[in-house]
């Protein structure tokens, strides 16, 4: 045979040889792992790291290749002389190589047959290892030098584990001096407790005081970009690296969830401002006439009250002054489009749906009219946590927006309707516990409703913060004599605990995961983040706190019902309702 047919036959034989070699290699080592030792090195190859099969005819046909574990033990031994390894030394294949070759090309049957055997191997040879997810992950192969961190993340935070699975480059940010200078190594201090205090102190000082929004904006501005698309990608990658550092500090106890929330909120403010600035630089001169007033962007919800957690909703409101509606509609459309792109694959923000048009863009006059008279109660409630993070054009646009927001919350038919709805809202009926954190009596929603009702009743006496957290509202109410100091302390402590729990859960668990499904490592981090010794103590604290707070709110409601008439519509000193 010669010519083209010989070449084709040779190519076919070569492909067959390569295919059979790859298949046999896959089959010989499927599901088996070498573990990481305390020294940081992986254990040496041993017979247990290969599948054995001792079938006489197949051994004759394959020159004892089925005795692959002995090849691991004595690599220099010729294949015809390889020895059989029993089940105490290595795992055993259920069939001969001839049948296994037929099985391996049928994935469904292969996995159904082999996966239970892999689980048996792990239980037999490594009973001390409960969680193999880090060993099974693709990121371990992509970043083997970061294996210890990968094990830590997979054991404590399933949500973060999925992130580093998709984006292994996030692990590289932990090599930045910004992280290593704060996460000090073990053994530098006189004892572990002193070392922990030093780490926490340095990390909290940096992320809550030294590295604020202004410093973040400066850091982003130093990165050269070409256009809006490039700016969005640059800001997203930069903010993801910083958010991952914050997350790791939280997992290691260097930041509390409340402190991490403040740091993530600063990061969100700087990211939003940088992206909107890039859009304004590219489109504002074309869409808005010079001297045409200005535009302000305000975030709502957890971002506004500086309670951000991974996957925070990027809910934003635009108002303008001067020029025409069409001019600012066009500019704000570009704003929202850039923010939608920023929220894709972001560790901080939840993705903005592609079909969402965003909120109506209103002039300041239209904003005041809408929220003063016609706004639904739910929309006005959002203004209790609204904070300006960007302005373009007129330098006082942010101040004008804040004045209009306070006026809408201070008086008007919409405000009266909202107060009535908050008074009549359900207090929750779920059984107290971690699994019912949001809807139980004394839980997140019950405490948040009480805080916002108090905020509306305080009106001009409310905290200067345009988006106060619930704990701040309760303290301000006590200072103004609206509620008793002991009740305010209970409510503020509960609000802080709920905030810590929500922040830790958003960091650790996926949206659909329940607390009961969390592993032991994740439960330990959850308890540590909330200042409790273990998960059982945390659950007991949740039940006790919810019951105490529900009783406090019920007492305040009773005081409101029994308050004497003729008070001019004002709330009684101890009356949040």
Does a structural domain hold residue 225? yes
Tokens found for residue 101: 């070759």
Report H helices in 106-252: 107-125, 133-136, 138-142, 147-156, 158-166, 177-180, 192-205, 213-221, 228-251
Please say whether the beta carbons of 458 and 419 come within 8 A. Answer: no
Residues 492 and 384 in one domain: no
pLDDT band at 513 (very low <50, low <70, confident <90, very high): low
pLDDT above 60: residue 574: no
Distance of CA 227 to the CA centre of its chain: 28
Distance of CA 172 to the CA centre of its chain: 18
Residue 360 has a pLDDT of 85
* Whole-number Å distance between alpha carbons of 459 and 11: 83
pTM, two decimal places: 0.87
Residues 35 and 8 in one domain: yes
CA angle 376, 382, 384 (to 5 degrees): 120
More confident residue, 190 or 94: 94
pLDDT above 90: residue 241: yes
* Whole-number Å distance between alpha carbons of 360 and 73: 71
User: H/E element holding 321?
Assistant: strand 316-321
Residues 118 and 137 in one domain: no
- A 10 A CB-CB count for 572 gives 17
User: H/E element holding 386?
Assistant: strand 386-393
Residue 202 has a pLDDT of 93
Among 367, 391, 414, the domain-final residue is: 414
Q: What is the DSSP string of 58-78?
A: HHHHTTTTT-HHHHHH-TTS-
Residues 144 and 87 in one domain: no
Angle, in degrees to the nearest 10, between helices 228-251 and 325-343: 50
**Over pLDDT 70: what percentage of the chain?**
92
pLDDT (average), residues 460-480: 82
* Whole-number Å distance between alpha carbons of 488 and 486: 5
CA angle 365, 371, 374 (to 5 degrees): 105
pLDDT above 50: residue 563: no
Residue 429 has a pLDDT of 64
Lowest-pLDDT choice from 323-332, 341-350, 451-460: 323-332
Residue 303 has a pLDDT of 95
Does a structural domain hold residue 420? no
Does a structural domain hold residue 318? yes
* Whole-number Å distance between alpha carbons of 262 and 469: 11
Among 394, 414, 434, the domain-final residue is: 414
* Whole-number Å distance between alpha carbons of 299 and 370: 18
Residues 309 and 161 in one domain: no
Residues 120 and 150 in one domain: no
Residue 460 has a pLDDT of 55
Residues 123 and 141 in one domain: no
pLDDT band at 463 (very low <50, low <70, confident <90, very high): low
* Whole-number Å distance between alpha carbons of 163 and 345: 9
pLDDT above 80: residue 427: no
Per the prediction, the chain carries an average pLDDT of 87
Does a structural domain hold residue 182? no
Sheet holding 386-393, edge to edge: 362-363, 316-321, 294-300, 386-393
* Whole-number Å distance between alpha carbons of 66 and 59: 6
* Whole-number Å distance between alpha carbons of 539 and 526: 10
Does a structural domain hold residue 110? yes
pLDDT band at 314 (very low <50, low <70, confident <90, very high): very high
* Whole-number Å distance between alpha carbons of 214 and 221: 11
Residues 274 and 390 in one domain: yes
pLDDT band at 321 (very low <50, low <70, confident <90, very high): confident
* Whole-number Å distance between alpha carbons of 269 and 336: 15
Beta bridge partners of 300: 386
Beta bridge partners of 320: 295, 363
For the stretch 95-138, pLDDT in tens is 988 888 889 989 999 999 999 999 999 999 999 998 898 998 98
pLDDT above 60: residue 562: no
pLDDT above 70: residue 459: no
pLDDT (average), residues 520-529: 90
Domain span at 218: 192-414
More confident residue, 573 or 371: 371
CATH code of the domain in which 225 resides: 3.30.460.10
Does a structural domain hold residue 78? yes
Please say whether the beta carbons of 315 and 339 come within 8 A. Answer: no
pLDDT above 80: residue 342: yes
* Whole-number Å distance between alpha carbons of 293 and 144: 55
Residues 380 and 434 in one domain: no
For the stretch 353-410, pLDDT in tens is 876 566 888 889 899 888 888 788 888 999 999 999 999 888 888 999 999 998 888 8
pLDDT above 50: residue 571: no
SS3 391: strand
For the stretch 540-556, pLDDT in tens is 999 999 999 999 998 88
Residue 573 has a pLDDT of 38
Rounded to the nearest 5°, which phi and psi values hold at 298?
-125, 135
Residue 335 has a pLDDT of 93
Residue 458 has a pLDDT of 80
CA atoms within 13 A on the CB side of 70: 16
Tokens found for residue 352: 């903005």
Domains of the chain: total: 4
pLDDT band at 565 (very low <50, low <70, confident <90, very high): very low
Residues 454 and 544 in one domain: yes
Candidates 4, 158, 74; CA nearest to 518 is 158
Residue 437 has a pLDDT of 86
* Whole-number Å distance between alpha carbons of 314 and 351: 8
pLDDT above 50: residue 337: yes
- Among 51-55, 463-467, 569-573, which range has the highest average pLDDT? 51-55
Residues 155 and 212 in one domain: no
- Among 234-238, 287-291, 442-446, which range has the highest average pLDDT? 234-238
pLDDT above 70: residue 223: yes
**Over pLDDT 90: what percentage of the chain?**
50
pLDDT above 80: residue 464: no
Does a structural domain hold residue 181? no
Residues 365 and 389 in one domain: yes
Does a structural domain hold residue 567? no
């Amino acid at each position: 045979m010669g010519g083209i047919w010989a070449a084709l036959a040779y190519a076919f034989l070569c492909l067959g040889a390569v295919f059979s070699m790859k298949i046999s290699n896959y089959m010989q080592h499927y599901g088996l792992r070498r573990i990481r030792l305390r020294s940081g090195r992986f254990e040496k190859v041993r017979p247990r790291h290969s599948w054995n099969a001792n079938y006489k005819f197949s051994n004759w046909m394959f020159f004892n290749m089925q005795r692959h574990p002995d090849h691991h033990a004595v690599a220099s031994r010729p294949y015809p002389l390889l020895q059989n390894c029993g089940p105490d030394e290595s795992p055993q294949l259920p069939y001969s190589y001839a049948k296994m070759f037929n099985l391996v090309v049928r994935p469904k049957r292969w996995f159904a047959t082999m996966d239970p055997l892999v689980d048996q191997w792990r239980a037999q040879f490594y009973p001390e290892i409960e969680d193999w997810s880090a060993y099974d992950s693709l990121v371990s192969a992509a970043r083997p030098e970061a294996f210890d961190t990968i094990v830590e993340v997979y054991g404590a935070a399933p949500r973060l584990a999925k992130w580093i699975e998709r984006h292994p480059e996030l692990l590289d940010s932990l090599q930045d001096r910004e992280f290593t200078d704060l996460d000090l190594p073990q053994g530098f201090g006189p004892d572990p407790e002193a070392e922990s205090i030093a780490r926490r102190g340095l990390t909290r000082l940096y992320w809550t005081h030294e590295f604020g929004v202004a410093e973040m904006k400066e850091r982003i501005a130093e990165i050269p970009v070409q256009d809006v698309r490039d700016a969005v990608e640059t800001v997203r990658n930069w903010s993801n690296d910083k958010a991952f550092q914050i997350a790791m500090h939280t997992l290691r106890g260097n930041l509390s969830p409340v402190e991490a929330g403040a740091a993530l909120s600063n990061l969100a403010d700087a990211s939003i401002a940088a992206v909107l600035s890039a859009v304004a630089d590219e489109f504002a001169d074309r869409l808005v006439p010079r001297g045409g007033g200005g535009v302000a962007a305000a975030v709502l919800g957890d971002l506004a009250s500086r309670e951000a957690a991974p996957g925070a909703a990027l809910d934003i409101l635009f108002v303008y002054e001067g020029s025409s509606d069409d001019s600012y509609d066009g500019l704000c459309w570009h704003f929202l489009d850039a923010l939608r792109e920023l929220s894709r694959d972001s560790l901080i923000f939840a993705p903005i749906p592609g079909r969402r048009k965003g909120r109506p863009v209103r002039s300041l006059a239209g904003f005041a009219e809408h929220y003063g008279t016609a706004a639904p109660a739910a929309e006005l409630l959002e203004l209790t946590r609204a904070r300006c993070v960007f302005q373009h054009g007129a330098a006082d646009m942010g101040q004008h927006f804040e004045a209009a927001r306070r006026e809408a919350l201070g008086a008007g038919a919409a405000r009266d309707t909202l107060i009535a709805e908050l008074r009549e809202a359900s207090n929750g009926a779920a059984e107290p516990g971690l699994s019912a954190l949001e809807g139980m009596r004394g839980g997140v929603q019950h405490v948040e409703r009480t805080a916002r009702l108090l905020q509306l009743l305080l009106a001009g006496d409310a905290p200067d913060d345009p988006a106060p957290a619930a704990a701040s509202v309760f303290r301000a109410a006590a200072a103004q004599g609206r509620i008793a100091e002991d009740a305010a302390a209970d409510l503020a402590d509960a609000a802080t605990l709920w905030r810590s729990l929500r922040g830790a859960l958003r960091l650790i668990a996926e949206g659909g995961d329940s607390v009961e499904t969390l592993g032991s490592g994740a439960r330990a981090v959850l308890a540590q983040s909330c200042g409790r010794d273990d998960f059982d103590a945390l659950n007991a604290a949740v039940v006790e706190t919810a019951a105490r707070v529900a009783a406090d709110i019920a007492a305040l409601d009773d005081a409101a019902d029994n308050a004497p008439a003729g008070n001019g519509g004002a709330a009684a000193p101890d009356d949040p309702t």
